[in-house]
């Protein structure tokens, strides 16, 4: 079998790509990135990764010097979801799969069928659950293996995404007993034949999947069995470790009200709801500032007969104690149009939002508001757990709710909101 040429790392045909694991940089923590380097590559030279273009930005990358933008498809699927679709793909195309990563020899591993891959459908590379990645190319094609000199001497060989004759495939899979890690398809090339192959592969693979938005309002495609898992106690983990959002078709207890995830085109309607509810522009300006600065963790809207009547937002807060400092979540603002208040819509938004945040893995949520209203929804006075707001306010107004009893143990400290709240 031919493995094509071995090239030194300096021989680069394209650059400006995303990370080796094709994660959006905003959702990829530096700590897990360095852990990945130490555990799987034996290197911990961040400058090398930056200088050689492995850290890019966003979920859309640009090939330098071409202006060609490349979007990748994100999905959640079990082996049962993927198997019949991959069988159909391999009946139509003769392909091969090459593991992405470091090799001790230039030959590496090559699989002629995805079903020959050990542990296919299982992600288990460490506690942050990185999915195994593969290059996919026509069976007759060759691929590039890069020779990388090591600091301690010798040469290791790298199969990376800089293979213009292939596209990237990260199948994701089951991790542990209650998590399903997301997968990716990435057309990392300007070769029209490979881009077409990637499009056909993606179309066949994701046929029949449902569309769900993540925390950044990017679409994920969820397979039938994976959707059942999302609706049960399983957590569907996206690329940066964030659990996937609620399905867009979930209904809550307020009769005739649909609660769904906010979408980008909702911005003007959200502003109208906030301005009408608060009779001033401050809260609408706050939400827009949080969104612009990537501090809007999650938000939902409520609709009646297709018209927006309510909104709720969540943003990060810092909880700092004598011996710890960590991020929790702040609820607010929450708003309902005046003519729709006292109809259970605000309660539906809060219940749906809190449930969504806890399903995402968040542990503590704080709120400043009416204790009679939030007390009915499970919130408690925060001082009961040694938690207080950084500003002076009646103790009864600042409240907290935990994912479980353990979440609030030892969480004593002072809560500070994001800087955008200073203008409210």
Rounded-to-integer distance, Cα 354 and Cα 360, Å: 10
Segment-wise mean pLDDT, segments of 10 residues, the chain, 424 residues: 37 27 31 34 38 34 40 82 94 93 80 86 54 86 84 83 85 78 82 91 92 66 86 67 49 64 90 97 96 89 92 95 88 96 89 83 91 92 94 92 84 94 87
Query: Could you tell me if 290 and 157 lie in one domain?
Result: no
CA angle 359, 365, 369 (to 5 degrees): 130
Residues in a beta bridge with 8: 147
Considering the domain boundaries, does residue 216 fall inside one? no
Considering the domain boundaries, does residue 229 fall inside one? no
Which range marks the domain in which residue 359 is found?
Answer: 257-423
Answer yes or no: are the C-beta atoms of 319 and 328 closer than 8 Å: yes
- The SS3 call for residue 263 is coil
pLDDT given for residue 9 in this prediction = 36
DSSP 39: I
Q: Which residues contact 10 (CB under 8 A, 6 or more apart)?
A: none
Query: Could you tell me if 304 and 196 lie in one domain?
Result: no
CA angle 29, 198, 156 (to 5 degrees): 55
Pairs from 48-53 (Cβ < 8 Å, separation ≥ 24): 49/20, 52/9, 52/12, 52/15, 53/12, 53/15, 53/16, 53/17
Rounded-to-integer distance, Cα 391 and Cα 412, Å: 16
Query: Could you tell me if 188 and 305 lie in one domain?
Result: no
Query: Could you tell me if 270 and 135 lie in one domain?
Result: no
CA 210 to chain centre: 17
DSSP 281: S
Considering the domain boundaries, does residue 31 fall inside one? yes
Query: Could you tell me if 193 and 285 lie in one domain?
Result: no
Q: How many domains does the chain have?
A: 2
Answer yes or no: are the C-beta atoms of 245 and 213 closer than 8 Å: yes
Retrieve residue 311's tokens. 């909104």
Query: Could you tell me if 276 and 151 lie in one domain?
Result: no
Check which CATH number belongs to the domain holding 313 and give it: 3.40.630.30
Query: Could you tell me if 53 and 176 lie in one domain?
Result: yes
Rounded-to-integer distance, Cα 119 and Cα 133, Å: 12
**Could you say which of 170, 185, 206 is where a domain stops?**
206
Rounded-to-integer distance, Cα 357 and Cα 170, Å: 26
pLDDT given for residue 214 in this prediction = 60
pLDDT given for residue 243 in this prediction = 58
Query: Could you tell me if 106 and 182 lie in one domain?
Result: yes
Q: What is the DSSP string of 310-338?
A: EEEEEEEEEEE-SS-EEEEEEEEEEEE-G
Considering the domain boundaries, does residue 19 fall inside one? yes
Length of the chain as a residue count: 424
Considering the domain boundaries, does residue 244 fall inside one? no
Query: Could you tell me if 24 and 136 lie in one domain?
Result: yes
Rounded-to-integer distance, Cα 226 and Cα 228, Å: 5
**Could you say which of 163, 191, 206 is where a domain stops?**
206
> Where is 415: in which H helix or E strand?
strand 413-416
pLDDT given for residue 205 in this prediction = 94
pLDDT given for residue 397 in this prediction = 96
pLDDT given for residue 253 in this prediction = 42
pTM over 0.85: no
Rounded-to-integer distance, Cα 414 and Cα 118, Å: 48
Query: Could you tell me if 59 and 182 lie in one domain?
Result: yes
């Amino acid at each position: 079998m031919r493995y094509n040429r071995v090239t030194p790392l300096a021989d680069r045909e394209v650059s400006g790509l995303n990370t080796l694991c094709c994660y959006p940089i905003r959702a990829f923590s530096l700590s897990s990135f360095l852990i990945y380097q130490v555990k799987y590559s034996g290197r911990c030279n961040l400058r090398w990764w930056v200088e050689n273009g492995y850290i890019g930005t966003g979920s859309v990358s640009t090939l330098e010097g071409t202006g060609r933008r490349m979007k990748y498809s994100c999905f959640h699927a079990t082996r049962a979801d993927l198997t019949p679709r991959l069988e159909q793909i391999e009946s139509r195309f003769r392909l091969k799969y090459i593991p992405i990563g470091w090799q001790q020899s230039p030959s590496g591993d090559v699989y002629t069928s995805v079903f020959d891959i050990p542990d296919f459908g299982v992600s288990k590379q460490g506690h942050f659950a990185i999915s195994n990645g593969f290059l996919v190319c026509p069976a007759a094609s060759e691929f590039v293996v890069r020779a990388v000199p090591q600091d301690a001497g010798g040469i290791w060989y790298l199969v990376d995404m800089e293979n213009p004759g292939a596209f990237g495939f990260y199948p994701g899979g089951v991790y542990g007993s209650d998590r399903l890690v997301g997968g990716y398809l990435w057309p990392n090339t300007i070769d029209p034949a490979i881009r077409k192959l990637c499009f056909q592969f993606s179309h066949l693979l994701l046929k029949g999947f449902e569309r769900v938005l993540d925390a950044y309002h990017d679409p994920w495609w969820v397979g039938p069995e994976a959707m059942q898992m999302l609706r049960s106690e399983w957590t569907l983990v996206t690329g940066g470790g964030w659990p996937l959002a609620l399905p867009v078709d979930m209904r809550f207890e307020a009769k005739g009200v649909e609660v769904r995830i906010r979408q980008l085109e909702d911005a003007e309607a959200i502003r109208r709801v906030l301005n009408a509810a608060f009779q001033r522009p401050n809260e609408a300006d706050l939400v827009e500032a949080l969104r612009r600065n990537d501090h809007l963790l999650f938000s939902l809207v409520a609709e009646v007969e297709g018209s927006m009547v309510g909104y709720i937002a969540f943003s990060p807060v810092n909880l700092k104690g004598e011996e710890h400092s960590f991020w929790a979540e702040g609820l607010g603002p929450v708003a309902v149009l005046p003519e729709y208040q006292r109809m259970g819509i605000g309660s539906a938004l809060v219940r749906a939002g809190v449930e969504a945040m806890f399903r995402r893995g968040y542990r503590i949520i704080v709120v400043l508001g009416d204790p009679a209203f939030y007390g009915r929804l499970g919130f408690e006075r925060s001082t009961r757990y040694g938690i207080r707001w950084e500003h002076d306010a009646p103790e009864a107004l600042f409240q907290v709710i935990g994912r479980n009893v353990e979440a609030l143990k030892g969480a004593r400290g002072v809560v500070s909101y994001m800087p955008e709240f200073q203008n409210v």
